[in-house]
C-alpha cells in the first residue's frame, strides 16, 4: 500500500503497487468487518464484476481475510474528484463543463438503469464519487450502496445516501428506482451551478440563485428535484435530450473544438403516432421526412418495432431496399449493437428504418430503442409509433422526445373512445412536464362542425393534412412512387404543415415560399395509411 486515497464511514481506499507488474497501480478498497456487512460486500463485488463500461470501475479481484475484512482490487484512475476540482476552482465551474459532465453521467446511468437481468440503482451520486481523468472523462466510483432494482418491492432494506444529494424516498423507507438517481443528478447540478448550495436547504429555485442560466437548464433541474418521482424526468436519456437542446456540442470532449456553423441543427427526436388506427400517422411521418429532405435536412424515419409492419411494403422494399439489407431492429437483438454495420436504406437525405414485413419477434425493451437511436447519425429522427402509446418503450421515447405529434380526424365517436380519452390524459401529462405535444388533423371538414369538434379536443390542432385526390394517390401506388416526392404535392403539403415544420426547424432553415426542386422518385410504393 502506497497511500490513502480516500475514506468513508465503512471503508478506505488505498493506492497499491503491484509487486509482480512493476509500475502497475491498483485502487484497493478495504471494507471493515461489520455485522451483516458480509452479504453487502459480496453483492458489491459481484455487481462490479458484471459491469463492462469504460467509465465504470473495473474489478480485478476481491477477497476477505479471517477477521471478515473485505478487499476489492480495482483499476486505478489518476485524477481529481469532481469535488476536488470544484474546490480548486473556488466553487465556480463553467456551465458548459458542468453540462458536459452531466452528459457523461446520463450515459453511465442509462447503462446501469437498463442493465440486464436487473437494473442497477447507484443511490449515492455526488461530486466526491465522481472522478475526472486528464481528458475530462468522468468515472463513477464507490458502488458500496448500489443495489439491484426489484420490481414490486415496496421498501429498500437499506436507506442510505448522502444528505443534500439523496432522493427523499431514500430517507422515507420507500423503494428507490432509477428516478432516485435522477433526483441526485439534479441535486448535484443545483449544487455545482449555485456555488455549492443545497436545494433542500435554500428552498429557492435555480433560476433565483443563478438567473443567467438557460431556461431549459433551470427547468430540467427543477423537474429532477421534484419530490414525487412521477413528476421527475423518467429516464437518463430524457435528461440528456433536454440538455442537448441547450448545448448541442456538450457531449464532445472539452479539448475538441468544432468549427462554428450557424446552420448546424440541434439533434431532435420526433415521435409521431395516431390517436386511433388508420388515421394517417405513417403518411404524416413519411411526409415530414420528405419535406425535410427537400429542405436539405438529413433525417431518419424509424418504424416502432412492436407495431404491425407497414413501412417496408409502402416503400416497395422488395424492389427498392438495398441488396442484402438487414433490418436494424432484428440486428440489434442478435448481437452487440455497437458492432452492427447497419446497411443504410436511403432516399436523398432520408434514411428508412422499417420493421421486417413478417414483424418483429422478440421482447423490445426501452433500452433497445436508445441503442438504435445511438446508431443513427442524423440530426432529426422521426419515430412512427402508430397507436402504441402505452408500450413501455414508446413511453420512454416520449419522455425523451423533443416533439410529440398526434394525428387525429374529425370522427367524434373515435375521439371519444375510452382508449382515446386515456391517450389524451397521457398527452396532457407530457405537456404538464414541459413536453411539446402537437395535434394534427387529417382532412378538412365544414366550418360549422369543425368548431364543435375543436371545442371537444384538449387542444386545437396545429395544422391540417390536406386531402389529396384519391386517383392521384392510387396512381402513385401503382407506379411505385412516393406521392410526397411529386413537386406540386409536396408544395401543397409543405404549405399546409408549415406550422409543424417551423416547430421542428429553426426559422432560417424553412421557407414555405421556397420552390421545391425534387424529382419524382420511383423508389417506393406508398398509399395513405395509418
Q: Where are the domains of the chain?
A: 3-75, 82-244, 268-509
Query: Does residue 30 have a cis peptide bond before it, meaning omega lies within 30 degrees of 0?
Result: no
Q: In sequence order, what E strands does 340-415 have?
A: 346-347, 350-353, 380-386, 403-408
pLDDT: is 133 or 262 the higher one?
133
Please tell me the predicted confidence (pLDDT) of residue 524.
Answer: 40
- Please give the share of the chain, as a percent, with pLDDT higher than 90: 37
Of 170-184, 273-287, 298-312, which range is least confident?
A: 170-184
The answer to whether residue 248 scores a pLDDT higher than 90 is: no
Q: What is the CATH number of domain 3-75?
A: 3.30.200.20
The answer to whether residue 159 scores a pLDDT higher than 70 is: no
Q: What is the CATH number of domain 82-244?
A: 1.10.510.10
Q: Is 208 exposed, middle or buried (0-12, 13-18, 19+ CB in 10 A)?
A: exposed
Contact 315, 393 (CB under 8 A): no
Average pLDDT (324-340) is 67
The answer to whether residue 42 scores a pLDDT higher than 90 is: no
Please tell me the predicted confidence (pLDDT) of residue 449.
Answer: 65
Average pLDDT (463-489) is 85
Please tell me the predicted confidence (pLDDT) of residue 307.
Answer: 95
Q: pLDDT band at residue 501, thresholds of 50, 70 and 90?
A: very high
Q: Is 435 annotated as a binding residue?
A: no
**Which residues, including other chains, have CB under 8 Å from residue 97's CB and lie 6 or more apart?**
136, 254
Please tell me the predicted confidence (pLDDT) of residue 228.
Answer: 93
DSSP SS3 for 168: helix
The answer to whether residue 494 scores a pLDDT higher than 90 is: yes
The answer to whether residue 530 scores a pLDDT higher than 60 is: no
Please tell me the predicted confidence (pLDDT) of residue 84.
Answer: 93
Please tell me the predicted confidence (pLDDT) of residue 468.
Answer: 87
Return phi, psi of residue 300, to 5°. -135, 145
pLDDT: is 477 or 258 the higher one?
477
The answer to whether residue 518 scores a pLDDT higher than 70 is: no
Residue 502 CA to residue 401 CA, distance in Å, equals 16
The answer to whether residue 192 scores a pLDDT higher than 50 is: yes
List pLDDT tens digits, range 339-360.
Answer: 444 568 999 999 999 999 999 9
The answer to whether residue 91 scores a pLDDT higher than 80 is: yes
Confirm or reject CATH 1.10.8.640 for domain 268-509, answering yes or no.
no
Cell of 118: 436487473
Residues with catalytic function: 124
Cell of 471: 386517383
| Nearest C-alpha neighbor of 313 from the set 286, 284, 288 | 286
Contact 180, 123 (CB under 8 A): yes
Cell of 45: 463485488
Q: pLDDT band at residue 529, thresholds of 50, 70 and 90?
A: very low
Can you give the three-state secondary structure of 229-277, one letter per residue? HHHCCCCHHHHHHHHHCCCCCCCCCCCCCCCCCCCCCCCEEEEEEECCC
Please tell me the predicted confidence (pLDDT) of residue 419.
Answer: 92
Q: What angle do CA 226, 230, 232 make, to 5 degrees?
A: 40
Of 248-257, 298-307, 354-363, 392-401, which range is least confident?
A: 248-257
Q: pLDDT band at residue 513, thresholds of 50, 70 and 90?
A: low
Radius of gyration of the chain (CA): 26
Q: Would 3-75 and 268-509 be classified into the same CATH topology?
A: no
Amino acid at each position: 500500500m502506497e497511500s490513502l486515497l480516500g475514506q468513508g464511514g465503512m471503508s478506505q481506499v488505498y493506492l497499491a503497487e503491484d509487486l509482480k507488474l512493476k509500475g502497475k497501480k491498483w485502487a484497493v478498497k478495504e471494507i471493515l468487518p461489520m455485522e451483516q456487512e458480509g452479504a453487502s460486500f459480496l453483492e458489491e463485488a459481484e455487481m462490479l464484476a458484471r459491469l463492462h463500461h469504460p467509465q465504470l470501475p473495473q474489478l480485478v479481484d476481491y477477497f476477505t481475510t479471517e477477521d471478515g475484512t473485505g478487499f476489492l482490487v480495482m483499476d486505478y484512475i489518476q485524477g481529481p474528484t469532481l469535488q476536488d476540482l470544484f474546490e480548486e476552482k473556488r466553487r465556480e465551474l463553467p456551465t458548459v463543463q458542468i453540462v458536459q459532465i452531466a452528459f457523461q453521467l446520463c450515459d453511465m446511468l442509462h447503462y446501469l438503469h437498463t442493465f440486464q437481468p436487473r437494473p442497477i440503482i447507484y443511490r449515492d451520486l455526488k461530486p466526491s464519487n465522481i472522478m475526472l481523468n486528464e481528458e475530462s472523462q468522468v468515472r463513477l466510483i464507490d458502488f458500496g450502496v448500489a443495489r439491484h432494482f426489484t420490481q414490486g418491492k415496496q421498501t429498500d432494506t437499506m436507506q442510505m445516501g448522502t444528505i443534500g444529494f439523496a432522493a427523499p424516498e431514500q430517507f422515507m423507507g420507500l423503494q428507490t428506482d432509477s428516478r432516485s438517481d435522477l433526483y441526485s443528478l439534479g441535486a448535484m447540478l443545483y449544487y455545482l451551478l449555485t456555488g455549492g448550495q443545497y436545494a433542500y436547504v435554500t428552498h429557492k429555485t435555480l433560476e433565483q440563485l443563478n438567473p443567467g442560466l438557460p431556461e431549459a437548464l433551470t427547468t430540467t433541474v427543477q423537474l429532477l428535484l421534484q419530490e414525487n418521482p412521477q413528476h421527475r424526468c423518467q429516464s437518463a436519456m430524457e435528461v440528456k435530450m433536454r440538455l442537448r437542446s441547450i448545448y448541442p456540442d456538450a457531449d464532445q470532449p472539452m479539448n475538441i473544438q468544432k468549427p462554428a456553423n450557424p446552420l448546424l441543427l440541434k439533434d431532435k427526436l420526433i415521435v409521431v403516432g395516431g390517436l386511433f388506427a388508420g388515421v394517417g400517422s405513417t403518411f404524416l411521418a413519411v411526409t415530414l421526412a420528405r419535406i425535410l429532405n427537400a429542405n436539405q435536412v438529413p433525417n431518419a424515419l424509424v418504424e416502432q418495432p412492436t407495431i404491425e409492419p407497414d413501412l417496408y411494403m409502402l416503400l416497395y422494399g422488395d424492389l427498392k431496399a438495398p441488396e442484402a439489407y438487414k433490418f436494424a431492429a432484428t440486428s440489434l437483438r442478435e448481437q452487440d449493437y455497437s458492432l452492427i454495420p447497419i446497411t443504410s436504406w436511403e432516399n436523398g437525405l432520408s434514411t428508412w428504418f422499417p420493421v421486417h414485413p413478417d414483424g418483429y419477434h422478440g421482447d423490445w425493451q426501452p433500452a433497445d430503442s436508445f441503442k438504435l437511436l445511438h446508431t443513427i447519425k442524423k440530426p432529426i429522427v422521426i419515430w412512427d409509433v402508430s397507436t402504441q402509446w402505452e408500450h413501455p418503450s414508446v413511453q420512454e421515447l416520449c419522455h425523451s422526445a423533443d416533439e410529440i405529434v398526434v394525428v387525429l380526424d374529425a370522427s367524434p365517436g373515435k375521439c371519444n373512445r375510452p382508449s382515446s380519452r386515456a391517450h389524451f390524459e397521457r398527452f396532457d401529462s407530457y405537456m404538464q412536464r414541459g413536453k411539446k405535444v402537437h395535434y394534427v388533423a387529417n382532412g378538412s371538414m365544414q366550418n360549422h362542425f369543425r368548431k364543435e369538434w375543436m371545442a371537444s379536443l384538449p387542444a386545437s390542432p396545429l395544422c391540417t393534412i390536406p386531402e389529396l385526390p384519391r386517383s392521384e394517390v392510387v396512381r402513385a401506388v401503382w407506379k411505385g412512387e412516393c406521392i410526397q416526392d411529386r413537386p406540386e404535392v409536396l408544395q401543397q403539403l409543405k404549405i399546409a404543415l408549415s406550422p409543424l415544420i417551423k416547430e421542428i426547424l429553426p426559422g432560417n432553415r424553412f421557407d414555405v415560399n421556397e420552390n421545391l426542386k425534387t424529382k419524382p422518385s420511383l423508389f417506393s410504393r406508398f398509399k395513405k395509411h395509418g
